[in-house]
Amino acid sequence: MKPTGERFREMALAFGDGRYQAPTPPTTALVLDDVAPDGTPLGGTRADSAPGGRFAAAWLAIAEQDGRGPQVVLRSRLGDPALLAARGITTCVDVPNDTASATVSVAHPATMP
């Protein structure tokens, strides 16, 4: 058997016999603003989440501090305690106001010579 096949067999055995323990999810969640305070949908959420965006920068800062990234919860779902409890979220953190965004330019292969 090839090394990759052997490793796959080992993993299948480990997952199948109950030895594998999935890591517990982080209890901290970073709030993604998908709605304004009055509940109207916000635009720009996708750009804010992309590399260089404020949300992405805040997520990376928490990941660096805690050693793993936080969960993400939409602002529109903060009023659902059952959802938060089911996901094990005990702390919700807003993106700090002083978090800066940076323009990141990535060339698409189709546009390259």
pLDDT above 80 (res 17): no
Would you state the pLDDT for residue 19?
Answer: 67
Model confidence pLDDT, tens digit, residues 33-43: 999 888 899 88
Would you state the pLDDT for residue 100?
Answer: 79
Model confidence pLDDT, tens digit, residues 57-83: 999 999 999 999 999 999 999 999 999
User: Are 32 and 76 contacting, i.e. CB atoms less than 8 angstroms apart?
Assistant: no
Which amino acid would we find at residue 93? Answer: V
| Residue 72 in tokens | 């993400």
Dist CA 60 CA 51 (whole Å):
10
User: Are 12 and 40 contacting, i.e. CB atoms less than 8 angstroms apart?
Assistant: no
